[in-house]
Structure 1
Amino acid sequence: MAARKVKTAAKSKVFVSETDCYLFGKGTHYEIYKKLGAHPSVEDGVEGMFFAVWAPNAKQVSVVGTFNGWTEDQYIMKEVNDGGIHTIFIPGLGTG
């Protein structure tokens, strides 16, 4: 059986910054809702969806849904730093 290719979607430019992570870790980021969750975004001229979640104890976080057949290892999020915020930008993915 051939190994399945894992998509490493484009890295988000700085949707969640180190300052965001610092303030969130301190408990003083009062607008973190603008960063976490799913947000339509454009990266390098390509429309898509940016995702960010806080999962401090997770070994792996993935974005799954009907758009990718609920495949757990297709869109693996990257941890921004050791504060537990994971992010990914998925090109071509729209709302809905």
Structure 2
Amino acid sequence: LEQQVPALLGYQWKVRDERAFNFARLFYRALFERGAPSYRYLEYAFMRARRLAYDEAVNEAQARLLADGGDCAAEIEDAMRDHSWISPVLVMQMD
């Protein structure tokens, strides 16, 4: 920000590469999806991507549950323990 960079997107802690790749995919899709409320708005695209990443984490846990016949609560708790969906952070410089 000292170098007049208007925005910075990063992570609060280490995340697995596939999770970082997935968040980038969701973020850029939201940022450049014409007609979407997040089109060309960093903060809206960021919030949308974060929400979609959370939804995907829950859906993955539920899919594993159905495939394995495991304990639903334990599977979802395991997916949420990853916390990669909450790790992304957007810092914006205001004029």
> TM-score, normalised to structure 1's length?
0.27
Q: Which has the larger radius of gyration?
A: 2
> TM-score, normalised to structure 2's length?
0.27
Structure (1/2) with the larger helix percentage: 2
